Amino acid sequence: MISIEISALRVVLLGLALAAGALPASATEQAKERRDSRDVRQDSRQDSRSEKIDCRQENNKSNAACRQDKRDSKQDGRKDARDVKY
């Protein structure tokens, strides 16, 4: 009777140890996805700034139109970052 309980306890402890070992791998993968997603967002922000500066210097559009283009560009970058993360 006692040996059965000890065996069952060993199985439970082994299962917990295996589950705990799997957690850091998934957490590491999530961290990598967050970093990749953040990098995409940061790159899109910088690209949006450059596009707005170029737009204003060329005087092809009003400042409001250039501002809207920048917003659209940043929104596209956020969408791309979500695609990377999820």
Closest CA to 70 of 83, 62, 18: 62
> Residue 30: what pLDDT?
86
Q: Is the pLDDT of residue 19 over 60?
A: no
Condensed to tens digits (0 to 9), the pLDDT of residues 37-82 reads 999 989 999 988 888 888 888 877 888 888 898 899 988 888 888 8
Domain enclosing residue 34, as ranges:
26-85
Asked if 66 and 58 count as a contact pair (C-beta separation under 8 A), the reply is no
Residue 18 lies in a domain: no
Number of domains within the chain: 1
> Residue 11: what pLDDT?
66
Interatomic CA distance for residues 70 and 50, integer angstroms: 9
Residue 6 lies in a domain: no
> What predicted TM-score, i.e. pTM, was given to this entire model?
0.57
Residue 60 lies in a domain: yes
Q: Is the pLDDT of residue 21 over 60?
A: no
Report residue 9's pLDDT band, with 50, 70 and 90 as the boundaries. low
